[in-house]
A and B are shown apart, each in its own frame.
Chain A
């Protein structure tokens, strides 16, 4: 089983709202990722967690706040977003951070900021 689940599938929020995206995997993977993908563009890495600790933060604005409560869960807390933050947000996981580890992606959350 190589399933990564994400909720919600769609989210519409105003610029003053606070919301959270959730990601879950039960493959025993120890690395988890958040990506942002705009239309007709490749995914852009935002954050990487390894063994529940933040490993990489790609200079993402502070209005995006990641959280890894345990090895199976990854959250992305959203606050005071801008319309340009509207995108498909993808979660992925891999066995570890080894160069040969495949990343498995979830279906994504389509976020619209009004």
Chain B
């Protein structure tokens, strides 16, 4: 059964304290892994797409990496405005763009 798991469920960091969020997946035929940021009561905001193991993408303080079993979202020197829920989603089908979402990691950055 296809499964996407994110850890930790919640993470509290001091401002400037770097850390990583994990998205592990057990799916057959990964076609793409997507990272989103979601603020409370708002829609998910697209961050990155990764397609193959070894791929890395960066944007400001965020860096996403992908292996054959998991993806990491590294946050370097976070700021309070990075506080949000981070969702990963995987796409496995060749016949439709159906996402399987993880349950998310709620990040709080304390000033």
Q: A: which residues have CB within 8 A of B?
A: 2, 4, 6, 31, 40-43, 45, 48, 55-56, 88, 90, 92, 94, 96-108, 110
Contact = CB atoms under 8 A, between A and B. Distances in A.
A38 B94 CA distance: 28
Given A41-B103, A42-B101, A42-B104, A99 B44 contact: no
Interface string B75-111: 0000000000001010111111111011110000000
Interface of B: 31-32, 34, 36, 41-46, 49, 51, 87, 89, 91-99, 101-104
Given A41-B103, A42-B101, A107-B42, A48 B96 contact: yes
Contacts of A90: 43-44
B96 A55 contact: yes
Closest 10 CB pairs of A and B: A99-B31, A42-B101, A105-B43, A97-B97, A105-B44, A108-B43, A107-B43, A99-B91, A106-B43, A100-B32
